[in-house]
Every structure is written in structure tokens, then in C-alpha cells.
Amino acid sequence: MKRKIHMELLATSALAIVLTLLFAIFIFYGLLREQVIGDLRAEARALKSMHVFDDAGNFRTEYGDLHPGSVRITVIGKNGAILFDSSADAGGMENHADRPEVKAAFETGEGSGTRLSGTLSANLFYYAVRLDNGNVLRISREAAGFMAVFGRLLPIAAGVFLFLFVICIILSGYFTKSLIRPIEEMAQNISGPGIEPAYKELAPLAAEIRRQHDDILKNARMRQEFTANVSHELKTPLTAISGYAELIERGMTDEKDTRRFAGEIHKNAARLLTLINDTIQLSQLDSGENTAEFTDVDLYRLAADCVGSLQLNAENMDVTMKLLGEPAVIRADRQLMEELLYNLCDNAIRYNDRGGSVTVTVGKDEGGKVFLDVKDTGIGIPPKHQDRVFERFYRVDKSRSKATGGTGLGLAIVKHIVERHNAQIALESEPGKGTDIRVTFP
């Protein structure tokens, strides 16, 4: 970045110097032309006032050598014929009625021009005035054209350019460092809340970078905590499986204990498999690997399938399940909707009381939005825990969660799925009376 800014400053400086020098040469040539034309105007008017060229029969001999080598004097008759020329044979010159300065003098009294003379093959400045007798007196002076002036000034301009460019190199290096230094200091201390950008235009960028930096740190801490929690959660069932298996392997159990230990091994293995599956799915949702395929999904039909598949689990827990509502089609990923329904209903069964109930409702609210409502009559969630139940591995009742095989990831997965579908989730709960979770789809 520093090198790029330095080079761009030098390029801008070089262009500015070149344009300035060209402009100065144009100005200089314009001033030179005005000076020469002004001198010729003064001389032409002086000669006119002296009336020395009024008599066409006398000035040929008397004034033929006037201003030799300095000013060329030409007298043009009313018809454009050359009556006198101080630098060439008038008889051999062509008619000058169409010359711009002569034409202007006949029409307005005075005229000027600059061009290459065909007679003398030199660049001349012309000024013409109309005499009292109707003829035109034109005087001219040889002067360098623009390209000639440019060629003469080019070495000087090149020297000035090199001198100024060297100064620009030094100043550009200094200004680049002074420009970049506050940005580098801000980048090194971007995490400091009290660090303000040196330039107000960088304030939005600094705020966004600081936000992203904080998000990265937050995500890093979350991943670290997640890894630690996963390790702990995996270690518990693996330790139980290893312990029971070792007792059986050493023959330290009778037939009754062997069956009981085998049941514990099976239960912990199932819990371990569930934990691994939930961890994989949550990781995919975090990374975006699980790309959602949105189609038209009848949420009521999916809810009916979910209630049917969990009916046996509910009966084992002595919990009654029922489905209310009507068909409602939403744009969603079918697999993710099935996972969302399963986790909500499974939690409602798992944390319910014996003889309790779970009511699943699908319908539309007053605004026409489709909603899914899962309500149970279970243990409920204390107010202080309600804001954290969607965190990973967060359990309100840890002993009950582990006893029922809960991984603590179900509601975290639900939250991710809801966010993936731009939906909203709301929780209402009262300890001892149950929990009501509603998801509203856009």
C-alpha cells in the first residue's frame, strides 16, 4: 500500500509538472506574440500618421531601405496589388487581397496575423492599417513560431522538470510515511476501544474491522469452549462404556450384572452416537456446509410425521402427544424442518412429567404468518435460565438431562435452523407448569 501511494503521488507530480511547463510555454509564446503585434501596431500607426506612404510615386526610392533587416514594409493597393515591399521585388509578388490581415484592414481599418511567409519562407507577424488614400500599409517582423520557441525552451523545461521531480520524490516519501503512519498505528491497536481513526473517513472502516475482530475472537472462544465441552461430553459415556466392558472382560460379573452392564453400555453408546450426530450437524450449520435447499413444505404434514415417530417415546415417558392446526405451506429445507420438529418435540417429552402432555400446533397468526408451536406441561424453565437455553451444552437440570440421554445441543441446533430460515423463535416458560416455544416463519 505504501509503495502504491508513493508511486501514485510521483505519477501525479510528474503529470502536474509536465502540464504546468507546457502551459507556461503556451503563456510565454502568447505574451511574445502580443508583444510583437503590439510593437508592430505602434510602428504601423506611427508610419500612417507620418503620411510617408501616401504618395505612391515617391516612397519607392525615398523609403526603400527603411528598417533594413528589422521590419518588412509592404504597401498594398486597393485591388490587392503590391505597390511596394521593402524586402522583395513588388513586381514579382502575387495579389494580397486575400491575406487575412489585409482583408481585415480594408474592411475595418486594421488587421493582424501570424503565418509562414511564402515570399521569404520565414515565420512572420503581420500588422496592417488602411491609409487615408485607401491603400493598406502592412508591416511585418520575423519571429520564431511556437515549435521553434518550444524547441529552444525544451532543454530549460527538462532541467526544471528534473529539479522539481527530485523535490517531489523527497516530499512524496515524506508525505506517504506521514499518511500511512496513523493507519498502521490504528491497525496495530485495532482492538483497543479507545483508539480513534486518524482520519474521519476511516471511522466506518475501523468500526467494521473492530466488529469483525471482536467476532473472530468471540467465535474463537466459542469454538474453544465447544471443543472443551464436546471432549467432556464424549469422555463421560466413553468412560462408562470402558469401565463396564472391563468388568465383563475380567469375568468379575455374574449373569445378572453382565446383562445390566451390557444395558448400560448400550445406553451410553446410544447417547454417544446421538452426541456425535448432534455435534456434526451443529458444526455443519456453523460452517455453512449444510446448504439449505428451499422448497414448498407442508409444515403440518411434517409435524404429523414427527408426532407419529415420537409416539412410542412419549408412551414410555407416560406423556400424551397431540397435533392441532391445519395444513400450512412454507419455503424451507425439508430435512432441517424435520430436525427442528424432532428436537422441539423430543425436548418437550424428555423434560415432561409423568402423565403430562405435549401439544404441537401448526397454523397462521393474525398477520398471516405460519407458526409452529410446541407446548408441554413439564418441569418448566426458571426465568434466569431462559435466555441461555439456546446455548450449546447448556442444561437447566443437568442430572435429568443426562439421565434421559440429552446432549444439550438440541435447542442450539433449533436456533441455527431458525436463523437459516430467517424465522423468529419465542419462548415462554414457568417452572412447574411447562414450556411453550413458538417459531414464526416469514
Look up the CATH number of the domain holding residue 277.
1.10.287.130
- Least confident residue range of 29-38, 149-158, 248-257, 275-284: 275-284
Segment 216-239, tens digit of pLDDT: 777 777 677 666 666 656 666 777
Q: How far apart are CA 211 and CA 206, in angstroms?
A: 8
The reply to whether 60 and 29 lie within a common domain is yes
Residue 153 covered by a domain? no
Which pLDDT belongs to residue 34? 81
The reply to whether 144 and 217 lie within a common domain is no
Which residue is associated with the grid cell 469422555? 235
Which pLDDT belongs to residue 129? 92
Residues 6+ apart with CB under 8 A from 299: 328, 329, 330, 332, 337, 362, 370, 372, 441
The reply to whether 220 and 355 lie within a common domain is no
Find the domain containing 220 and state its range: 191-290
Q: In 3D, which of 99, 97, 94, 56 has the Cα closest to residue 80?
A: 97
Residue 27 covered by a domain? yes
Q: Cβ of 339: how many Cβ atoms within 10 Å?
A: 21
Which pLDDT belongs to residue 386? 74
* Confidence band of 288 (pLDDT split at 50, 70, 90): low
Residue 385 covered by a domain? yes
Domain count, the chain: 3
- What is the average pLDDT across 311-338? 87
Residue 177 covered by a domain? no
Q: How far apart are CA 288 and CA 88, in angstroms?
A: 94
Helix (H, G, I), strand (E, B) or coil at 138: strand
The reply to whether 47 and 11 lie within a common domain is yes
Given a cut of 50, is residue 66 above it in pLDDT? no
CA distances (Å), 159 to each of 19, 23, 165, 302, in order? Answer: 15, 16, 10, 84
Residue 400 covered by a domain? yes
Among the three residues 116, 148, 180, which one is the final residue of a domain in this structure? 148
Percent of the chain's residues with pLDDT above 70:
75
DSSP percent split of the chain into helix, strand, coil, nearest 5:
55, 20, 25
Segment 109-124, tens digit of pLDDT: 899 887 766 655 567 7
Among the three residues 224, 258, 290, which one is the final residue of a domain in this structure? 290
What is the pTM (predicted TM-score) of this model?
A: 0.46
The reply to whether 201 and 245 lie within a common domain is yes
Q: How far apart are CA 126 and CA 115, in angstroms?
A: 8
Beta strands (DSSP E) in 205-328 are: 294-298, 320-325
Task: Please give the helix or strand (H or E) that residue 361 lies within, else none.
Answer: strand 357-364
398 or 97: which carries more pLDDT confidence? 97
317 or 195: which carries more pLDDT confidence? 317
- Least confident residue range of 58-62, 205-209, 303-307: 58-62
Q: In 3D, which of 105, 127, 125, 107 has the Cα closest to residue 117?
A: 125
Among the three residues 290, 310, 335, which one is the final residue of a domain in this structure? 290
The reply to whether 140 and 218 lie within a common domain is no
Residue 166 covered by a domain? no
Contact present, 124 and 143 (Cβ < 8 Å) = yes
287 or 143: which carries more pLDDT confidence? 143
- Least confident residue range of 78-82, 99-103, 119-123: 119-123
Which pLDDT belongs to residue 314? 87
The reply to whether 260 and 127 lie within a common domain is no
The reply to whether 103 and 232 lie within a common domain is no
- Least confident residue range of 112-116, 175-179, 257-261: 175-179
The reply to whether 304 and 421 lie within a common domain is yes
- Computed over every residue of the chain, the mean pLDDT equals 77
Segment 6-18, tens digit of pLDDT: 677 778 888 888 8
Which pLDDT belongs to residue 67? 47
Which pLDDT belongs to residue 162? 84
Given a cut of 70, is residue 81 above it in pLDDT? yes
CATH of the domain at 427: 3.30.565.10
Segment 260-275, tens digit of pLDDT: 888 878 877 777 776 6
The reply to whether 284 and 397 lie within a common domain is no
Which pLDDT belongs to residue 62? 46
Specify which of 81-90, 244-253, 359-368, 409-418 reaches the highest per-range mean pLDDT: 359-368
Work out the angle at residue 250's Cα, subtended by the Cα atoms of residues 244 and 252, and round it to the nearest 5 degrees.
75
The reply to whether 284 and 304 lie within a common domain is no
CATH of the domain at 100: 3.30.450.20
Residue 337 covered by a domain? yes
Given a cut of 70, is residue 435 above it in pLDDT? yes
The reply to whether 302 and 436 lie within a common domain is yes
What's the gap between Cα 12 and its chain centre?
24
Given a cut of 80, is residue 287 above it in pLDDT? no
Given a cut of 80, is residue 206 above it in pLDDT? no
Residue 159 covered by a domain? no
Between helix 146-188 and helix 2-50 the angle, nearest 10°, is 150
